[in-house]
Structure 1
Amino acid sequence: MRNRRKRGSLPFRKIAPNMVTSGNLLCGMMALFLLFHGRFVPAAWLVFMAVFFDCMDGKVARSLGGGTQFGLEFDSLADVVSFGVVPAMLMYVSYADALGLWGVLAASFFALCGALRLARFNVVHMPGPFQGLPIPAGGLFLASFILAPVSLHPAAAAFLCFGTGALMISSVPYGSLKGLRKGQGNRKKFLLLAGILALTFVSLQSAAPLAVMAVYVVSGLIRFDWEKWLSRETGEGERAEKKA
């Protein structure tokens, strides 16, 4: 009996990342309940809150050395809800409801593309930029229209769902900072970017998230590599290593 208990028990370092991922899924479920009661803005903010847990579960797993295949699959399932289903429902109930079946198809298409994007990411691991718009970015982009708030024609909302969904399953490269190691970033550019973000939120306020996400969505279409831009130049990096 003792041996069976030892074999069946999981160490905390493997459980902790999944507990953080549960926060992501919880945000998604809470957002759906808020949608049911017509509270669209708080539901949209919960999509942004889910990003915090989505980022932290990977960091916790790496710091504890407890990343597992189960955790990877669980993370994808949580992302489907928080960044796929919730933003799709937000766009439908806020804008595309008037289109009837077309509104349903547009919202469903976005959620379906998000699930396909996650499945492809789990199977095909490619270094460098993301292949296709990441589902968290796609979900945040749609949720930002609720926060702005922007008055969209139902047809425009459907187009955004179709277009954003298509970008997620495309091969358009989107910048990723995962390959940027500590000490490799250009401090001046990071400070410049932080200053621009702060100014954007001060000046645009509730419309700031939409502006930021729109820039990221467009950056992939124009092939702008955020990791390359924020990295030190080769010579600068070598000098920094020598000083260290």
Structure 2
Amino acid sequence: LSVSSKVNIGNYYFSVTEKLGYGKAVVEFNAPLNEIINKYGKVPLPPYIKNENISEERYQTIYARVNGSAAAPTAGFHFTCKLIKELKKSGINFAKLRLDIGLDTFRPIVEDDVEEHVINNEYYSLSDSEAKKISQSMQNGGRIIAVGTTSTRVLETVFSKEGKISGDKGNTELYIYPGYKFKAIDAMITNFHLPYSTLLVMVSAFAGRENVIKAYEEAKKNNYRFFSFGDCMLIS
């Protein structure tokens, strides 16, 4: 679409006002966006999922509360109400944060050098009360286990120079690739990711490229399921 192009959606329409590159553009609607989304919107499933009949509830975590993401934080799919209850009984504490996942989660790295890839910013927020929970756990010698690459990105973003997690909100452009020194997390729960994805690059930065290759080969050998509805692993 070119600038000034108009696209009709039922009785609504939007006009392209600016092209941003990488398949992105600024558009202007003739009605409130939420109104249009509620009437015509569909869950933005990953391109490798061909079944369009998957319900919103299935492609969602049980603890999701706020609209804004272009994808679900799939590491959270493995958590049920029963599992969370059992973990809390075992003395494991939970803290909540927000990251509005952007379309970059689907965009593969095409550059020969991963460091040359540009990642777009995503909105995040972590309240002071939730940050305090995490900081207290760190001070008491507890381990910080991030559920997903999304949580990892936020926690590494808000880790302060004073060596603690601080409440904050804003847009993060943090791009984690091998060579990055992790400061906030001790372990990560994550699914098996697509090749050439920034998610796989982040996991490789945390666990080491060779270890990740071994883990993926083991998963293939034992018929593990990959991607959004697949299996997950705990990396520490």
Which TM bucket (shorter chain)?
under 0.3
TM-score (norm: length of structure 2): 0.27
Which structure's residues are more often helix, by fraction? 1
Which structure's residues are more often strand, by fraction? 2
TM-score (norm: length of structure 1): 0.27
